[in-house]
Amino acid sequence: MVEIIRPVRHGILIGLLGIIFGVVWAFWLALGHEVIVNKLDATMKQDVVQKEEVIKVSFKRLGMGHSHSMGLGLVAIAVSFILAFTTASNKLKAAGSLLSGLGGIIFPVAWIIMGCKTPVLGIDGAHAAVTPLAGIGVILILSGLFIALGCLIRDALK
């Protein structure tokens, strides 16, 4: 069993770290809500009329970091296990596992950065500033998924 998991162990580890981070981040969002809102409010550059809406959007984006971290951590683990049981080379298994794991970390971090930058840059400005980083995360996740899909299709056609 250990030999089957060896090529994909890094993706499994990154996926588990993503899930753990998601849980810890959820606790922080729940227990530190007042502290977070006060810090977001202190960095606010918007006029008073939009203040409440911007804080609400900012906090929602911080929450999306939690959701995506946990979900994509599970995706990275699933991709890793799928690859572990294919007949692909160990290097291809490791690449797919690692790519999906790294994407599963980068994409949620992009949401968290977007949430932190929303009061300063505005709703649209923060979205535009973080889109390239989020795009890299999506590309990495999809790369891992397509490697796994390709390996499954190849094995199914043998």
Give me the pLDDT at residue 68, please: 97
Q: What residue type is 99 in one-letter code?
A: L
**Does residue 45 carry a pLDDT above 70?**
no
Phi, psi of 87 (to 5 degrees): -95, 15
- Looking up residue 135, the CATH number of its domain turns out to be 1.20.120
pLDDT band at 128 (very low <50, low <70, confident <90, very high): very high
Give me the pLDDT at residue 48, please: 56
Which residues fall within 8 angstroms of residue 128, CB to CB, at 6 or more apart? none
Domain count, the chain: 1
Please give the span between the terminal C-alpha atoms of the chain, in angstroms, as a whole number: 23
Q: Specify the pTM.
A: 0.91
Q: Across all residues in the chain, what is the average pLDDT?
A: 93
Identify the three-state secondary structure at position 86. Answer: coil
- Mark 122-134 as b/e (b = at least 16 C-beta within 10 Å): bbeebbebbeebb
Give me the pLDDT at residue 40, please: 85
| Number of residues that this document lists for the chain | 158
The stretch 9-32 carries a mean pLDDT of 96
Which residues constitute the domain of residue 48?
2-156
Tokens representing 48 are 């008073």
Contact 54, 118 (CB under 8 A): yes
The proportion of the chain whose per-residue pLDDT surpasses 70, expressed as a percent, equals: 96
- Taking only the tens place, the pLDDT of each residue in 87-117 is 999 999 999 999 999 999 999 999 999 999 9
